Structure 1
Amino acid sequence: MSARLPLLNERIYAPYKIEMLVEVLGEQGIPAEECLRGSGLGVDEIHNPDRLTSVRQYLGVCRNAVNLSRDPATPFKVGLRMHLSAYGMYGYALMCSETMRDFFNLGVKYHKLATPTLTIQWREDADAAVWVFPDAFITGPSRELKEFLIEQQFGQHVTHLRDVAGRETVATRACFSFPAPAHAAIYEQYLGCPCYFDQQECELYYPASLLDQRPQLAHRLTSTLLQETCDRLIGQTKTSTGTAGEIYQLLMRTPGQFPTMEEAASVLSMTPRTLRRHLEAEGTTFAQISDDVRCSLATEYLRMTKLSTDDIANLVGFGETSNFRRAFKRWTGKVPSDYR
């Protein structure tokens, strides 16, 4: 049985990761058509930057790689080739970060733009800056696929730190929450640091002193401009993907008429309980989406129209203007008049 093809509103990523994976597999003699089997993608499409793809399509190609490749280093080789320049605005925003601490923060903030296959976080310990990869996958992969994705992610992070802080930048250790695989010996070869298995979480450690360094391409103005672009792109992904995207689009279609969660669930042919569960799985709630939509509409009205604050409050679903002002201050840190 072939995999279910993604919905159109899931296809929001350029195929750069798929292209790189197919390239590495091709070097092993595996035909591109076999790599892409079941993904709904043709060979020519993965070289077209205008052809948008989904996380699910990428996971399908990774699953094919697990089944087709006999080289356990495949995910590391892919990760080590994934330079930040392949990530578009997200990658350039990271490269222009003012400090490495900003790099870590922005990496997490804008990770949604990077065809994400797993969750990333980071923390600052007394002596280390630590990337953390909790077991929170978008899908429930097999053990082999899970390890493949983590190995590739670690390779990508090693590459990205070198892109930003210099080739001499190395991790101090890598920890993995699964038993040592048969090919455990190659981990240190590709990651360049001691590797430990059967740990509590998957983590990649760097010296804490790294955080105050300036990236090689640090530039305040360029960083600010690129972050603004990434903010807009993040907003677009919210309105485009999954059940949350359906709710965003439903609320945006009828400004001033905000359906309740029960009414929205009915439009989507599901119960409120099912809708709540779907949104929780995507890391959001109906109330959060409603606030996001109201904030987006309010800021747009303030920037682009001469409508009064009373009129805007009514258009975004507030019966009392005072309630709107308080909500707007909570959303943006400013009152409507200051924002305008």
Structure 2
Amino acid sequence: MNDWYRADVSAEYAVGLLQWLEQRRIPIEDVLVDTGIGPAQLEGNLRLTTQQDAALLANAISLAGDPGMGFELGLRATLTWHGLLGLGLMSCATLGQALELWAEYLDLRTAGFCLSVQKRDGRVELHIQDLSPGAPMRRSALERLATMTACLGGQLTQQPLPELEMWFTDDQPAYFARYRHRLAQTRYGTGMCMVRMPDRYLDLPIPTANALVLRQVKAQCESERLKHGQNDCLIARIKNLLPLENGTYPGMEDVAQALCMSSRTLKRKLRQLGLNFRQLIDDARKNEVLRDVLNTAMTIDEIAERRGYSDAANLTRAFRRWTGESPSQYRAKLPFRLERAEMAA
């Protein structure tokens, strides 16, 4: 069976979408046409397949005339949309603890994506990995998840977080213009997809913290994970081990040992996901190089040496393969479009 037909997306997000469209006088029956979504899925708090979620998004975009529907849904999502996990987020002591919980149990809300949390240079980065990149409507689904994630900080801490950013791999779509005033600072054409913020935000307290409720929620999340046959995202766990502090990358044996499994088991699990260990290393190195190139204080020669390339020419060849342009051409696009900052100016 195609992976797009697995029960991967919480129906609570569909219910939120349908309620909003109903307020706009768009009949629910029209939105559900050809989606295969039945009342039992919606009323029973069950899960949608990736295909059903995509069909619902496509119908909503067509009926509402808004190709930026992913942004709209992300902005409208409340903590209650996240169900049991939302209760857990509200019960965390700090924003940092909440973001770790969000990344750890995201598979219970949408198994088609996973998050890895990384800290570097005074920033925390929540990298979004698309595990079903060939499925339809992925851009909308990605914009929905990124916006939801970006909104969590303000919702949980009950204060504005002006230095929060969203980064997207592709170029800016035309429909972004109508949303830029409502979104966090947004960068396009970065080659990476993530939500990024100063690491000092991680210590911000959450007024609704409750340690007892948090323990109960975690126990229920584990039970739900077993019920749905979900596993915590292997890709995120591996990425959290890359790279090492000295800039090198561990081998498969080292990573497998850190994950308490044999290298053979790790290889098999990656193969089931259509990936291999070398791809993950290359992807991690690519992200590190892209970040370094954004730092105009570093020369290309310095970046090549730092990231293990024999010379700048080898790095440039790899960079062209990733982005279609040289590091200098990529750097020349700086500053990236920070839409809200531009408008304020």
* TM-score bracket relative to the smaller structure: 0.5 to 0.7
1:194 pairs with one of 171, 185, 192? 185
Partner in structure 2 of residue 179 of structure 1: 171
Q: CA RMSD in A?
A: 3.3
Could you give the per-residue CA deviations for residues 274-297 of structure 1, whole angstroms, max 9, x where no partner exists? xx689622889xxxxxxxxxxxxx
Could you give the per-residue CA deviations for residues 33-59 of structure 1, whole angstroms, max 9, x where no partner exists? 2321222224x5465145553343222
Matches within 5 A, 1:38-117: 38-42=34-38, 44-45=39-40, 47-117=42-112
Partner secondary structure for residue 119 of structure 1? strand
**Compared with structure 1, are the counterparts of its residues 76 and 199 closer, same or farther at alpha carbon in structure 2 (3 Å cutoff)?**
same
**Compared with structure 1, are the counterparts of its residues 125 and 65 closer, same or farther at alpha carbon in structure 2 (3 Å cutoff)?**
same
Partner in structure 2 of residue 148 of structure 1: 140
2:272 pairs with one of 280, 293, 305? 280
| Separation (CA, whole Å) in 2 of partners of 1:239 and 1:182 | 37
Matched, 1:203 2:194: yes
Matched, 1:232 2:223: yes
Deviation at 1:72, TM superposition (A): 3.5
Partner in structure 2 of residue 126 of structure 1: 121
**Compared with structure 1, are the counterparts of its residues 280 and 160 closer, same or farther at alpha carbon in structure 2 (3 Å cutoff)?**
same
| Separation (CA, whole Å) in 1 of partners of 2:132 and 2:8 | 15
**Compared with structure 1, are the counterparts of its residues 180 and 57 closer, same or farther at alpha carbon in structure 2 (3 Å cutoff)?**
same
Deviation at 1:128, TM superposition (A): 1.5
Aligned residues: 242
| Separation (CA, whole Å) in 2 of partners of 1:90 and 1:100 | 14
Deviation at 1:161, TM superposition (A): 1.8
| Separation (CA, whole Å) in 1 of partners of 2:95 and 2:59 | 36
**Compared with structure 1, are the counterparts of its residues 200 and 89 closer, same or farther at alpha carbon in structure 2 (3 Å cutoff)?**
same
Deviation at 1:208, TM superposition (A): 0.8
**Structure 1 length-normalised TM:** 0.61
Matched-pair contact (CA < 8 Å) for 1:113–1:233: yes
Deviation at 1:156, TM superposition (A): 1.0
**Compared with structure 1, are the counterparts of its residues 171 and 280 closer, same or farther at alpha carbon in structure 2 (3 Å cutoff)?**
farther
2:209 pairs with one of 206, 218, 233? 218
| Separation (CA, whole Å) in 1 of partners of 2:122 and 2:74 | 26
Could you give the per-residue CA deviations for residues 300-328 of structure 1, whole angstroms, max 9, x where no partner exists? xxxxxxxxxxxxxxxxxxxxxxxxxxxxx
1:22 pairs with one of 18, 22, 26? 18
* Matched AA of 1:24: W
| Separation (CA, whole Å) in 1 of partners of 2:223 and 2:62 | 38
5+ unaligned residues in a row in structure 2: which ranges? Answer: 232-267, 277-345
Matched-pair contact (CA < 8 Å) for 1:98–1:223: no
**Structure 2 length-normalised TM:** 0.60
* Matched AA of 2:57: C
| Separation (CA, whole Å) in 1 of partners of 2:46 and 2:107 | 18
* Matched AA of 2:135: P
Partner in structure 2 of residue 35 of structure 1: 31
| Separation (CA, whole Å) in 2 of partners of 1:224 and 1:85 | 18
Matched-pair contact (CA < 8 Å) for 2:150–2:166: no
**Compared with structure 1, are the counterparts of its residues 51 and 111 closer, same or farther at alpha carbon in structure 2 (3 Å cutoff)?**
closer
Partner secondary structure for residue 35 of structure 2? coil
Partner in structure 2 of residue 261 of structure 1: none
Matched-pair contact (CA < 8 Å) for 2:9–2:111: no
* Matched AA of 1:138: S
Matched-pair contact (CA < 8 Å) for 1:54–1:115: no
Partner secondary structure for residue 224 of structure 2? helix
